[in-house]
Structure 1
């Protein structure tokens, strides 16, 4: 028999000896009275709800037996205690064991709750195997409770009794009860999570396949996916998954490791989440070719800050001349038109006419005539090609080709990489780093100003910090917080409403009519979806 005053590893089982060592390293004294600090615990948690009927039944089944059943959560906090006999109830109460007490190994030493959580495996602690002598009169068997859907460790069920009792039947009782509790946890899990789990298991039949499932409050990943991704990559993957509203979307991504991957995000039917399947990219993405002879004039369309000028210059090639329609306000229509006419009369490189959506109808008609009469190639840029809010139909019909630049909110998976590259360009040293949490916050922001807006934010960060990790609280105040992410369906609904309002020129009554809903319904959806 082991001494109650000093613990020796002689003849002790390895798991008990390891626990004693951890207890001693925590600074515990085996002969002192354990400190049992109590806090109130919720009576409505999912684990307690799932276990309550099971504990009710087992107490009736073992009525009068010298047994105690202790339910604890993942933090070793006791949620419920049931006794099958008054004698055991009195002994446990005398010890001060009650709901709200924490039986963590670093607080009370080796026991069948805290040690089970530490080792994540079932364990019998018999009499003097408890680290503290105050518990030597009890023998207990702890069985971990694993959520069958999320595979998270939810807590422990401890079946115990006096040290002199036959403890051999503790284990089968605990295992049977935990099986029933886990079944009830599965039944109480929302249908959406069960659908996500089914999709994950179906996709992960081959262990070497890198796949993930992303849902509300739920992330599942195969070992291959965890090995593939660095923490900073997760923000880009989650942002890419947000684009899979109703159909599968494939994105290309350069990982922190430098590897190129393609990941396909497929909405899970009835799961309110996305299945992400990774594959190594076979070839490098091809650069956007210059337009052929048949593709001039070229129209480049994109929201403010999406890089219209950069794309226009890339398409035009070296030596291109830029004329900005926004200058009409300063120079006057006549002077501006004369200057453009002179450019187009001369031979030379491509002429880029920016911001043609600012032109009046008469000026747009004049520019169209000048373009038709020139031998030079022309690129036009505009924020929109919509007749109501964009450029004049005469210019739209004149263009032989169009390039649409997607806003950042529709390619969120690129934001982490863009932010890191911008920081490398702006930072004075290489010691400045965006943490994964910060990248996730940046990826979730809508960025109405697109590339120009995120560039300003990164520039501000590089000016205020010279080294170390940039955490979310380092961001400018308007960019620090991110609301609850929308589900794919809600995200799609938001995009449709925003597009309808833009097409209606901001007129919400007209937008409601185009959507086939009342104005009050539209305003309700604007509030729910947080559309300004």
Structure 2
């Protein structure tokens, strides 16, 4: 038996937790309790059919195509698993890593759960619902110990549910703690693709679902449309899979608003108030008088606790670096919203700004509060209390970066979070975006392919806003003819083109973010990144990071 099996079989929990990170130790325990042994091979896990037309794969494919180009010739691979932890797509940088992964069981349709594959960056991320790196010997199954993998959950921005897991894997000798940024950014791009591809009917369903859920406190509320099933916490406790299938069928058959009575498979009789919404329906369920059976008291108790929960209107946090389009995204979600700008605090008194906030939050219109990271801590706390009583949706925009404890009480109210990727993380978008921006400036202007290639090579710390400024300046500097590289050079003096690979850009982004979080303290930055200060200084020089 392996050393891993010996430690676990002897029940040496203290030793296990002292030698492994907590997340890994707990995963090993779950793997062992499921009856798995370290000698287990993945070939014993069955292969299932996968949906090649799924919405996740449709949204992820453009990102996977770009990653495949980025990783071509490297020893890395990316794996995509669906909401059932089954592999649905794989991309490899070299034949060697493809051969090794296939030999150890990576196959489309194979399900990676902890009870059949142990601790790894797909199965364990699927279990804990947060990003995780699993390095070498941290894998539970012996066959996987040659690899290091980074996994990130893909959360549907409409439903808030886990849609899949994205994994980056390589042999351990290619490991770098900075690779996590690369796969994390790719997962964010996939989530944004899911958002862009979501139908208008789903947005309408989401708004109606939150409206009914906030008005019907103490009710089980569900929202159903093709491919989407939303439910509030009370519905999660009350319904099982048979009930959900019945409600989905009811929504598909309904032609108008209606009220009816049905018996759930768990026993209770419920009154269902159904409201048609576009291609779906929102239903509020309440236990009918005398409708509880043997297990009724348990459900009634949960219902009582649900009634006591504080209710609030939907609150979405849109996060991103400066210039990524946070305000534009918020206004796209709610075009008729009242806009409250936190940067106006520099131009008026706190009392005047707060009075404006009270006025904006008391109405029935959606409210956008822009740049909440600029709020003083006490004002953020007061605003959080005010938003608890709102009946209309609220959107907050916040700069992405280190944790923000001073605004934690405000941000913790969020029902949904949308992360906007930086422009340098999606270089494939730079050329089409540049054409769109230039067309808005002057529909008659054109830009050369060489100029577009130059724009694509730049790192864009100011994101879309900086790109727009460069193009506007170039257009003003040369008002006639095609914009070429010379005009871009004039528009951005001193802006050198930084030639970095995608993995190097991920390294640069990670180092810059950690440096900022630690006030440019090199010792702390190196410690968090698990590299020496010598390595940190070397990489900063190579990546063009000042300081």
TM class by shorter-chain length?
0.3 to 0.5
Structure (1 or 2) with the larger CA radius of gyration? 1
The structure where helix makes up a greater share of residues is: 2
> TM-score w.r.t. structure 2 length?
0.43
